[in-house]
């Protein structure tokens, strides 16, 4: 899993993923404090995440292990919205 920050929406009217009502978000990997580290990727939102929220993203074959994504052409899926990140006994991020 990866920590990522939601930085935008992606709209695709024609797609082959077969996920009814799918909502895709643009996310960028972050450090534990929520600072953006890498380029962005597109992830299927399964939890109702919003702009600028810190989320948990699963990628690759693990992204196809949910009820919604089973046997679908999905490479990245948002599986959680982060409330708190604690690292080495210190709160690194708090919503």
- Distance between CA atoms of 78 and 88, rounded to whole angstroms? 25
Contact between residue 18 and residue 69 where contact means Cβ atoms under 8 Å apart: no
Counted domains in the chain: 1
Q: What CATH number corresponds to the domain at position 20?
A: 2.40.50.220
Q: What are the tens digits of pLDDT across the range 24-82?
A: 999 999 999 889 997 899 999 999 999 999 999 999 888 787 777 788 888 899 999 99
- Asked if residues 82 and 31 have their Cβ atoms less than 8 Å apart, the reply is no
Q: What mean pLDDT, rounded, does the chain reach?
A: 90
Range of the domain at 34: 2-94
Cα(74)–Cα(76) distance, rounded to whole angstroms?
Answer: 6
Report pTM: 0.88
pLDDT given for residue 7 in this prediction: 96
Residue 58, token pair as written in the block: 């699963």
* Dihedral-angle region of residue 71 (phi above 0 means left; psi in -120 to 50 means alpha; beta otherwise): left
């Amino acid at each position: 899993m990866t920590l990522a920050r939601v930085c935008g929406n992606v709209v695709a009217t024609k797609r082959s993923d077969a996920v009814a009502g799918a909502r895709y978000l643009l996310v960028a990997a972050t450090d534990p404090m929520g600072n953006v580290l890498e380029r962005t990727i597109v992830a299927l939102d399964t939890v109702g995440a919003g702009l600028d929220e810190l989320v948990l993203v699963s990628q690759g074959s693990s992204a196809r292990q949910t009820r919604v994504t089973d046997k679908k052409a999905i490479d990245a899926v948002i599986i959680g919205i982060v409330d708190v990140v604690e690292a080495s006994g210190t709160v690194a991020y708090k919503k």
